[in-house]
Amino acid sequence: MVYFGLNFAVVIGIFHGFLWESLKAFWRAPWKSLRSALIGLALYFGATFVIGFAITYIDPNFVNVNDDNIMGLFDEYASLMTIAAVFLVPITEEILYRGVLFQGLHQRNRAIAYAVSVLVFASIHVIGYIGMYDLQTLVLCFMQYLPAGICLAWAYEKSDNIIAPILMHITINQIGVSASR
């Protein structure tokens, strides 16, 4: 929890102006953000279903090692991990991956913005397990994060503020937490 809390505090401390501007943009046109988040969620769940089907075909016994590790932490620290997974991590990750990385690259090249932000987002969820698991498992885990990375970036682009992907990410993680109980 200290790790998640410290990351959150540092990111908010550094990018508070960006977050404040996004909140003001959200309140000027809340339906634009909410519509982008809802469509993004629908796209995410559809793409996740397709990727899940493909992964099951490749490896019927596949378990996402990052999800498994996080669920292990939930067993010991349910309340703290719920706060981290549902609030701290989505806000921190969205500010960094969509607000900083995607937005910065998008000003130069839309395709590169999508490619880099999605690849970095998926990689960060897998990189800590390199050397602990076989390559196929890591590639399949990586694949599972691609729909989220794409759909979160899409929601950011369409809403033109960070609130839509934050709301999406919170919803996705809350559903995951609720399903695990």
The pLDDT tens digits for 19-48 are 999 999 999 999 999 999 999 999 999 999
End-to-end Cα separation, the chain, in angstroms: 20
Q: Is the pLDDT confidence value at 161 over 80?
A: yes
**H helices present in 77-162, as ranges:** 78-83, 89-93, 103-106, 110-124, 135-159
Query: pLDDT band at residue 143, thresholds of 50, 70 and 90?
Result: very high
CA–CA dist 18, 162 (Å, integer): 9
Is residue 2's pLDDT more than 90?
Answer: no
- Quote the percentage of the chain above a pLDDT of 90: 86
Q: What is the mean pLDDT of the chain?
A: 95
The dihedrals phi and psi of 60, each to the nearest 5 degrees, come to -60, -20
Helix (H, G, I), strand (E, B) or coil at 6: helix
Q: What is the pLDDT of residue 21?
A: 95
- d(C-alpha 32, C-alpha 155), whole Å: 10
What integer pLDDT is reported at residue 25 of this predicted model? 93
| Burial (Cβ within 10 Å: 0-12, 13-18, ≥19) of residue 49 | exposed
Residue 133 DSSP label: B
For residues 145-152, average pLDDT: 98
pLDDT exceeds 80 at position 1: no
Cα four-point dihedral sign 109, 115, 116, 118: positive
**DSSP at 61:** T
**Considering only 2-11, 29-38, 69-78, 88-97, which range has the smallest mean pLDDT?**
69-78
- For residue 78, the model assigns a pLDDT of 86
Predicted pLDDT at 70 = 87
Across the range 154-167, mean pLDDT stands at 96
- The share of the chain scoring above pLDDT 70, in percent, equals 99
pLDDT of residue 181: 67
